[in-house]
Amino acid sequence: MSKQLVLIAAIVVTACGGGGGGNGPDAKPAVICTPNGGTGAPSVMQVFPTAFCRGVTVTLDGMNFAGTGSCVTVGGTAVDMIAGDTGSLTFQAAPATPSGMQTIKVTTGSGSFTVAMPVTVNDGAPPTITTFQPQVGASGDTVTITGTDLMGAVVSLHPIIGVGPPLHPTITANTATSIQFTIPMGVSGDYAISVDTAGCGTATAMGKLTT
């Protein structure tokens, strides 16, 4: 009886394509999928975003998913599932996910689907903002943002009152832990500050910039 149980468990892990976390002491255990069934073979119609970093939330839209019981792999490595239903799955790429162009595969109890268009997994992490100074300034003044994973980020100033597209000020200095930008000419009012790094996500600062 015990041999039969071991054999069944091995089949479940293989069918779901769960990725391993390595053999080190801090390795993450392999993900074992337990599909909730499904009314037919799954299919994926949209992936957003198509370029992302590990830890960034990714959404799959499609049909016949098995909710959070669905098994999703990116580059053969099982993801960290966040939420899901029959038409949408939300997950984050695991730390062990290989970088570069990778294939997404969804497996349920009713079949599997491999997305034809590969996605791009970027090295890096989502940006964070610790603070920005000064919080009150005028056109031409320099504002310094501090945080993490800020290299290559785009800064946006979002008007808090009124409508209009965000402003993208000129960045004068940029490292992984800080960004300096110049308040654009003719700007007045209160603005929320956000930074965006391609494929790695967006961070919004606490507080507002008053000009």
Residue 95 CA to residue 29 CA, distance in Å, equals 12
Structure confidence by residue, pLDDT tens digits, 44-60: 999 998 888 888 899 99
Structure tokens at 175: 């490292």
Structure confidence by residue, pLDDT tens digits, 108-136: 988 999 999 999 898 888 899 999 999 99
Q: Which residues contact 63 (CB under 8 A, 6 or more apart)?
A: 40, 42, 43, 45, 86, 87
Q: Is the pTM above the cut of 0.85?
A: no
Which domains does the chain show, CATH number per domain? Answer: 2-122 (2.60.40.10), 128-210 (2.60.40.10)
Query: Taking a C-beta distance cutoff of 8 angstroms, is the pair 122, 144 a contact?
Result: no
Structure tokens at 45: 């119609």
Residue 190: Cβ-neighbour burial (10 angstroms; 0-12, 13-18, 19+): middle
Structure confidence by residue, pLDDT tens digits, 97-107: 898 999 999 99
pLDDT of residue 194 exceeding 90, the answer is yes
Confidence of residue 19 (pLDDT cuts 50, 70, 90): very low
